[in-house]
Structure 1
Amino acid sequence: MLKIVRTHSGNPDFMALVKQLDHYLKIVDGDEHDFYNQYNTIDVLKHCIVAFLNDQPVGCGAFKQFDDNLVEIKRMFTSPEARGKNIASRILNDLEKWAEELHYKASILETGKRQIEAVGFYKKNNYKIIPNFGPYKNIVNSVCFKKDFEK
């Protein structure tokens, strides 16, 4: 049974999942890892989700305010053994719902072009590619997405 828990970045299960994510990204991002890593600190994230499958933490995600109308989705991860079970979509949908409850209008995010599964995942969840924003503007390996919430 899947349980979705809203929490913050100080949650030990969230921190453990992010550690797994960082290990994976260090391999995928290679020489660019340090650049991306500076934008992925979790010490100030107030809106985090941990997904539990049979009481085991298997996935996480978070958002932070980007501006008055937008949140930025951060730290999305599902452990390898739990992939293919729609857990990431449930996490993402709950993050969007939470942001909408707080009166945000849309979410944006950045992922790496080398993360083929992530790019496909966001497209499947109705995210549209947008021009790279903020620190990712001139980064060739970055692809940015946006999704407007329902009215």
Structure 2
Amino acid sequence: MYGNRYDARDDTEKRWRTFTDFRSVHATLDWTTRHETPDGSPMVSARVTGKGAAHALHLFTADYVMVLNAPGDQRSHADYSDPTRLATFWRTSGVWVELWVPSTAIAEPVPAEVPPADPALVSTSTGRPLLGPSGQLTFPRRRSKETSRA
């Protein structure tokens, strides 16, 4: 149903869980309010809580790829307009979704990222992760063979 707040909330929960499980982030969503925007569009809002909440919100905003399914959907972007908090918001199926952290959470230290536990992402020969810091596969550089020409 177009504009259903419950569908938007469930969809956001699934997206958040998928993202945080993959990134080994332990922040959760605490749904705070259901209200309307000044133009009358439905809106849901959740506070990101837990260790590294601001870091998790930043990663989600920067790295998570939103799929736009309905006309009028918008990708996520950060909102710095309120000095007491940092928020990200997007529009899905006619509903605005907002995730936010208070500005006090922004000063928290960034937790160290845990490498992926998926055995498929670990080299069987060296035991090192196949994904590098950039998230791309790591391949050793081969030294060029020098051939001598006589």
Is TM > 0.5 for Structure 1 vs Structure 2?
Answer: no
Larger radius of gyration: 2
More helix by share: 1
TM-score when normalising by structure 1: 0.31
More strand by share: 1
